[in-house]
Structure 1
């Protein structure tokens, strides 16, 4: 029994090791150990003993001998405590009753108990049982502390926990980093005043005195309700905090630098836990962990090694509202998934429930996994899960619904664009995606496109041009002319605009194509016609010479128009690339921050994407409207409408896009109804209001005044922005003209020209008054009367 013995009596077998002759004088011990389910294994070879003691499963207790002169119990104890694998195993040393030196030496070497060889077998077994129980309690405490460390390390904010005496119990590294401190200078036992003194050194304190700050902290902790606060520091930082009192009179709080939140690290620093307490202290640590979980804005959940729910916060329940009432501690993760399937919580699983369940459990079983999940109501979550050392796992759920909506908007803009567009891999030159306009224009099907490379649509004479393949690799945005082949073999002349982007993790380029075949043919025919005229000039009269001179004047005008067109194409290309770059940059930041993205961060990036998309829509609408005017496809339909309502709608829409500005409307003197084209007037005021915001970035007020003057209504739109130079004012309504004061501000020079034409089609007029640095006022005069005749409209258009 002493070499391999052990009979399970209590239902649980405990393993302990003994070295050498540790039990020669303790008669009856073997039977007592066996009755209590304790298996003893005695080893005679010292090296083998230490090797086996470090192998898993580890023994729950070790007995050593310090009775005889040849015993090496104290030396073996020190050796065990120096080994990281065995240092936590309790050790009991047998000593002689009178050997006080060995007793003291054993305790100094790390033994939990020193027992006399004269102790009774019953007492000796009782001591062994007690130390095994205490070892089990400490093991459970260590596992709880590992869960707490993992949770704190996963948090994106600085977290600190103080006891009722105002002393720091624990904090994560982010707490020190938020205030610009080295984490090593923050440690448990410090008071809030000690930490404030450290922050003084880097200017990371409010402008108030230390005593006032400490008084504020004490007053904050007296309330039972959680507190949100924002502090401005001497360093210029703005810190947002969340403070909550704990049950023992202390407090837990989070600290977040919202001045430069986009610089926050994705990974959270590890927290240092001070937990050398008994089982009661472990329960207190668990309560503090629950409080910390509730501070986090993301959904958090902890599972044990058997994938049973251990801990979760309210945000997790809210995200899974369909089955939140069924969640309980100890519930298996798979059972929770099945409950959600029964209640229709996972739309993607409908009709393939078992297959979906197997895929989801496979993700959950991975050491580390990330994926997206769709919920009812077209809501989307990003799920990140990671296994921890005790075999359990921690999971984070982030609501990415707004981001998905923005991605869908951008995809719709790509798919519905009337200009042929595609995305291709810059390394392999293979098409990754094409829009419907490209499919229709080139005559290739979508599946056929996705099997082709960019070189497959290049005309043969383009193959020997290396810049065809490399033109956009060195330059993130470029423009060039080329020849392409359609699906039926027809060669076309095109101008392509390309910009680099990241597409599903690949280095790719977005290319837009303009077919200029007909324009090239017209240009060639024009050149041939010019050559013919020059030949005729040499053989004809002075009258023909005059005609030739007139023709050259027209050709010069055509060149100017072509130059204006080239400038516009270049400007429009730049203006499209700018919002695309903003969208791409925001998306990349979201990808990099996906592990620790806050709602504020997501809101900021979503606003950037919405603003850029709005800018692209404005550009497209202005370009299309100008084209329709040029080709006579815009006709003004005069119908009764409320110009005050149009102005109100346009100003509200602009305020929703640019929340930094407000429109001050004075429209009470306008008549209730005029005759005009509602959509065209909407475009007029949308352009004017957009300009008022864009060219007055630091002046939030835009004044809109309306009144009736005889048979006309007059509307004045005044901003307090950068103004216009006096010599630029006569050119403001020319197409593509940009004032010198607008340098560095996005624009195409189309909007005001479009506004002027629409107002004149209504039989009205528009004037501008301004001076550099003193704002700008546009004044419109529009007839109130009934629908104009076609003759009047045509005259106005001219």
Structure 2
């Protein structure tokens, strides 16, 4: 492989590859500007690819048939490689090889010539391709600068083709509306994009059809338009719209929710251009239109700091700098022209020093500063170097902001309240108004050399440092402080504080209100009020106590009377039912005394026994209610076999109610617990009676007991009618009966009595049920005696007095 390598400098290099290409008459090429390098035969296309990528020639003359290789395939490989795709290739074919020429163009060749081509025509074709290549590289370089500018913009930019499809947009366009940028891509219609925004609520408060109709009217308007829309999310979006020459449009989208309260600048835009030359030119034209829509001044510079592009706003801001801007003008030349015409008031009298400082800022990778212009106008300058070696400059008019700052300064200086600015971390005084100097008795220089601690009593320093640390984390503080004046007098002030940035330092703006005299008067008034209130309290306390006691007694009497009335009404009904059953069974026995059978006698006896059992249960409940009504229940605690108690109660129920059976699982219960056996028997008698009564069609009742830590748990489960969910919280209320118990005898005092007995044992009871799915009662009882019992006591009586309200 032999290559002429005279490429010490970047002259225009042409590679000649192949025997036919080497025979071409190259005499008409400008030899002084073009270096011809003849590449000898290569045995493999990869080797030739490597040579081209390493040398990067400006143009290649290539045989269609090169040694044993196919020139068309070599051309295709060069065009598919990112490192060589932009190098124009001219294929050399025989005079009549039409098919070879067509294949060459399909492979990406820039041109195809005959090996017999005239030298002048060949020179013209080569020069045309070289000029086209240079032009394309220049356009791509400009587009790279534009894409960098577009990517840096804080505004969303979108470009639509004439057919209404998206040509390109920057990521900010999606982010302004809260949409994932990956979901928006070229080729989408405006309706597709609006649907994505509607999913996150980033559309105005109107229907999708109305919004699309409005957008269509806006996009078809010939004149430039600026619109503001409030979205459902609360964001306020400002858009600038302009039609393009191909019937499409370009628009910017800016979140101005915060900008309505404080002016902020938006800058720099990003564009995405397609690789084809024609589309790149069209994208370039559309981006120029977008450049003019941006309200800030924008300028692009090349690697030699020469003006490449700028918008009208930039030119308006520097109108006093002389003749209009022209492409290629140097940045320094423009500055010198402006200095001669007084464009920069702050540079007058020190022009060279100002120029050196300005050029140093411009050379930094990224810089931002403020600049004063004639007419007391101000701009904020932001500049950034881009990867291609050039730079982007933004100019934002901040004149109104400066005027407001001046107004705030006047308000600060002329405020009659003492005010100052202090560093949030060191508490150093940074600025002070005259009212503060007069009030505290310091001169300005001395005050600004002090910190807040210098006017505080020493005992308050630690607390102030803690408060300053909290304020440094973003909290606003309004509080009282003790201060000392220059004469040593201690005053009490109320501080109003808010955070701000002072010369780029985190600081706090403080306003101090002297409340010394007001606090003294308040303390005297409070002492007088306290004395008066104490006198009133001492005289009214006894009256209030007596009134409360009387009201409590009257309320208790009313409740007792109402409970007795309800109980008498229920009890009379409940006693009547079992007595009727006994009387009916007895009458039938009398009527059939001469013809009775043992089965008949057994049946009637069971009816009588069931009625008597019901009356006994009622009597037990009535006696317990009597004890509740007197305000106490006696519980005698001593060792008792809980399993035997449950077995006795279940056996009694089975003997009375032959239709039901109790399935016991009590092996995991301890042998004994401390409790009142009779009272616990009453608990399980009531629970078993309810399980039978409210499950007439379900014969099985499941009783399970086990030890859990220091307690025992017993569950009683039936498969009966169940309880409504709304009634569950009321099940243990006195005289309460669930809606599902309609038509079933009962007084509503059994479960209330059960809960009282369980609680007096230090235990708990819970109920779980669903209508139609049965009921589960869970009893939790402690195993051991209470701690206050003596070890040698055979049994201890716990008497707990309960107010009537708790018993009910």
Please give the TM-score of this superposition, normalised by the length of structure 2: 0.53
Cα distance in 2 for residues equivalent to 1:92 and 1:248? 33
How big is the shift at 1:142? 1.0
Q: Does 1:161 find its partner at 2:162?
A: no
Partner of 1:362: 360
Q: Which residue does the alignment assign to 1:272?
A: 272
Report deviation, 1:473. Answer: 1.7
Instruction: Give the CA deviation at 1:139.
Output: 0.9
**1:608-619 equivalent positions in 2, closer than 5 A:** none
**Partner residue in 2 for 1:397:** 395
* Structure 2 counterpart of 1:304, from 302, 305, 325: 302
Match of 1:507? 506
Question: Could you report, residue by residue, the CA deviation over 1:126-174 in whole angstroms, capped at 9, with x for unpaired residues?
Answer: 5543332221122122123224324433444433333434343333334
User: By how many angstroms is 1:398 displaced?
Assistant: 1.6
From 469, 472, 489, the counterpart of 1:473:
469
Matched, 1:27 2:37: no
- State how far apart, in whole Å, the 1-side matches of 2:242 and 2:527 are: 78
Give the equivalent residue in structure 1 for 2:725: none
Instruction: Give me the whole-angstrom Cα distance separating, in 2, the residues matched to 1:516 and 1:164.
Output: 71
SS class of match (1:377): coil
Unaligned runs of 5+ residues in structure 1 are 528-551, 561-798
More displaced stretch, 227-236 vs 287-296: 227-236
Deviation, structure 1 residue 363: 2.1
Instruction: Assess, with a 3 A threshold, how the Cα gap between structure 1 residues 513 and 149 changes in structure 2: closer, same or farther.
Output: same
Provide the secondary structure at the position in 2 that maps to 1:297: coil
Distance 2:327 2:271 in 1: 25
**Deviations, residues 556-595 of structure 1 (Å, cap 9, x unaligned):** 38999xxxxxxxxxxxxxxxxxxxxxxxxxxxxxxxxxxx
Aligned to 1:767: none
CA 267–384 in structure 1, closer or farther in 2 if over 3 Å, else same: closer
SS in 2 for 1:404: helix
SS of the residue aligned with 1:169? strand
1:39 & 1:479 partners in 2: Cα distance? 82
Q: Is the 8 A contact 1:425 1:507 kept in 2?
A: yes
Residue pair 2:153, 2:266 contacting (<8 A) in 1 also: no
**Matched residues, number:** 521
Matched with 1:381 is 379
Going from structure 1 to structure 2, the CA distance change for 1:354 and 1:92 (only over 3 Å counts) comes to: same
Q: Which residue of 1 aligns with 2:528?
A: 556
Change in CA separation of 1:254 and 1:444 when aligned onto 2, cut-off 3 Å: same
Cα distance between partner residues in 2 of 1:193 and 1:397: 35
Partners of 1:499 and 1:234 in 2: how far apart?
A: 35
Give the distance between the partners of 2:514 and 2:225, measured in 1 at CA: 62
Per the TM alignment, residue 51 of structure 1 is displaced from its structure 2 partner at its CA by: 7.5
Distance 1:446 1:83, change over 3 A: farther
Deviations 1:470-505 (A, max 9, x none): 22322531535446474x8x4645546363523333
Pick closer, same or farther for the CA change 1:500–1:200 going to 2, 3 Å: closer
User: Do the aligned partners of 1:243 and 1:251 also contact (CA within 8 Å) in 2?
Assistant: yes
C-alpha deviations, 1:506-535, integer Å up to 9, x for none? 333344556788999x99xx99xxxxxxxx
TM-score (norm 1): 0.53
CA distance in 2, matches of 1:515, 1:194: 63
Deviations 1:704-747 (A, max 9, x none): xxxxxxxxxxxxxxxxxxxxxxxxxxxxxxxxxxxxxxxxxxxx
Separation in 2 of the partners of 1:87 and 1:256? 38
Structure 2: runs of 5 or more not aligned? 533-808
SS in 1 for 2:469: coil
Distance of 1:417 and 1:207 partners within structure 2 = 45
- After alignment, is 95-104 or 218-227 more displaced? 95-104
CA distance in 1, matches of 2:347, 2:224: 40
After superposition, where does 1:338-737 map in structure 2 within 5 Å?
338-439=336-437, 446-456=444-454, 461-462=458-459, 465-475=461-471, 476=475, 477-482=477-482, 484=484, 486=486, 490=488, 492-493=490-491, 495=493, 497=495, 499=497, 501=499, 502-512=501-511, 556=528
CA distance in 1, matches of 2:429, 2:530: 37
Conserved? CA contact 1:29–1:125, under 8 Å: no
More moved, 64-73 vs 86-95 = 64-73
Structure-2 change in CA distance of 1:458 and 1:74 (3 Å): farther
Q: 1:13–1:455: structure 2 CA closer, same or farther, 3 Å change rule? A: same
Match of 2:667 in 1: none
Deviations 1:390-448 (A, max 9, x none): 43332222222222222223333333444544333333343333334455566665455
Whether 1:149 and 2:147 are equivalent positions in the alignment is: yes
Seen in structure 2, the aligned counterparts of structure 1 residues 482 and 43 have a Cα distance that, compared at 3 Å, is farther
1:319 aligns with 2:317: yes
**Residues 247-266 of structure 1 mapped to structure 2, 5 A cutoff:** 247-256=245-254
CA contact (8 A) 1:317 1:324 kept: no
Name the residue aligned to 2:4. 3
With over 3 angstroms needed to count, the CA separation of the structure-2 counterparts of 1:269 and 1:559, relative to structure 1, is farther
Are 1:6 and 1:37, in contact at CA under 8 Å, matched by a contact in 2? no
Query: What is the rounded CA distance, in whole Å, between the counterparts of 1:373 and 1:434 in structure 2?
Result: 27
| Alignment of structure 1 residues 133-212 onto 2, 5 Å | 133-196=131-194, 198=196
After TM superposition, the structure 1 stretch with the greater mean CA deviation from structure 2, 100-109 or 133-142, is 100-109
Q: Deviations over 1:3-49 (max 9, x none)?
A: 245999xxx9412456xx64586236565555262113457899998
- Matches of 1:342 and 1:61 in 2, distance apart? 47
Describe the shift of the 1:43–1:406 C-alpha distance in structure 2 as closer, same or farther (beyond 3 A).
same
Aligned to 2:87: 89
Question: Which whole-Å CA distance do the structure 2 matches of 1:79 and 1:505 have between them?
Answer: 57
Distance change (3 Å), C-alpha of 1:246 and 1:453:
same
Asked whether the equivalents of residues 230 and 239 of structure 1 are also in contact (C-alpha less than 8 Å), the reply is yes
Supply the distance in 2 between the matched residues of 1:466 and 1:173 (Cα, whole angstroms). Answer: 50
Q: CA deviation at 1:384?
A: 1.4
Spell out, residue by residue over 1:115-134, the C-alpha distance to the aligned partner (whole angstroms, 9 max, x if none).
77676766655554333222
Q: Judge conservation of contact 1:346–1:376 (CA < 8 Å) in 2.
A: yes
**Residues 318, 324 of structure 1: 8 Å contact kept:** no
SS in 2 for 1:293: helix
Q: Distance in 2 between matches of 1:130 and 1:409?
A: 64
* Structure index of larger Rg: 2
Residue 393 of structure 2: SS of its match in structure 1?
strand
Structure 1 residues 223 and 434: alpha-carbon distance in aligned structure 2, compared to 1, 3 A threshold: closer
Contact 1:370 1:384 in 2 (8 A): yes
Distance 1:256 1:474, change over 3 A: closer
